[in-house]
Amino acid sequence: MLKKWLQNSNYTVVFTGAGMSTESGLPDFRSSNQGLWNKKDPSKIASTDALNNNVNDFISFYRERVLGVKEYSPHKGHYILADLEKQGYVKSIITQNVDGFHQQAGSKNVAELHGTLQTVHCQSCGEVYSSQEYVDKEYYCTCGGILRPSIILFGETLPQDAFQFALEESRKSDLFIVLGSSLSVTPANQFPLIAKEMGAKLVIINREKTPFDYYADQVIRDQAIGKVLAGLDM
């Protein structure tokens, strides 16, 4: 069914969440046993308040995350999506993930709703650097400001450019495919509903149930994303 819909679609948009990254080996945030938030309180370590008032713990936590991302790489599912984009089947990707794996695999039209761990930038002047700075334990800009990962912290709003791009793509889609998202985080979880309201078919591929399975035209559970995508054989 999904393959036929993809072949007949004029505008397919893909939405990816933590489940896409965990297939590369990265830990997620909210799983009941391995989630990062079971080890750290996000309000105390991944927030603007921590950046301003608890900078040493903030830097220590995010250096660990930067190093973690560099230990892994895109899996076959990322490469299949990039290939589907090259073939014209997939128009864009909206992602909640911050690992940058979609771009590494070759995808071009990607909206990173929560930013990226691939770069850091100066909290004072905005200068952008590679996240290699954190690997090398270089935490300060030439202007003297603190370097921070280019991700959205608790207490910050989503980047407007990425949000508007995602909104427009959702409205234009006639097939909207969710890959590995619990659809529990707002406002990101509204994009599948917006697509559905505009008449798109909605497909949800996720290990566990989501709050929006009821609205989906097809739900696939208990299958690896990479395996499902490979089975499309486009």
CA 124 to chain CA mean position, Å: 26
- Any binding-site annotation on 43? no
- Any binding-site annotation on 114? yes
- Any binding-site annotation on 141? yes
- Catalytic pick from 78, 102, 114, 121? 114
**Whether 114 is catalytic:** yes
CB atoms under 10 Å from CB of 190, counted, come to: 15
- Any binding-site annotation on 143? yes
- Any binding-site annotation on 188? no
CA 181/CA 169 separation, integer angstroms: 18
Q: Pull the structure tokens for residue 171.
A: 């409205």
- Any binding-site annotation on 150? no
CB atoms under 10 Å from CB of 234, counted, come to: 12
Residue 15 burial class via C-beta count within 10 angstroms: exposed 0-12, middle 13-18, buried 19 and up: buried
Residue 171 one-letter amino acid: R
- Any binding-site annotation on 216? no
Residue stretches of the annotated binding site for Zn(2+): 122, 125, 141, 143
Catalytic center residues: 114
Residue stretches of the annotated binding site: 18, 22, 29-30, 96, 98-99, 114, 122, 125, 141, 143, 181-182, 206, 225
Residue stretches of the annotated binding site for NAD(+): 18, 22, 29-30, 96, 98-99, 114, 181-182, 206, 225
Residue stretches of the annotated binding site for nicotinamide: 29, 98-99
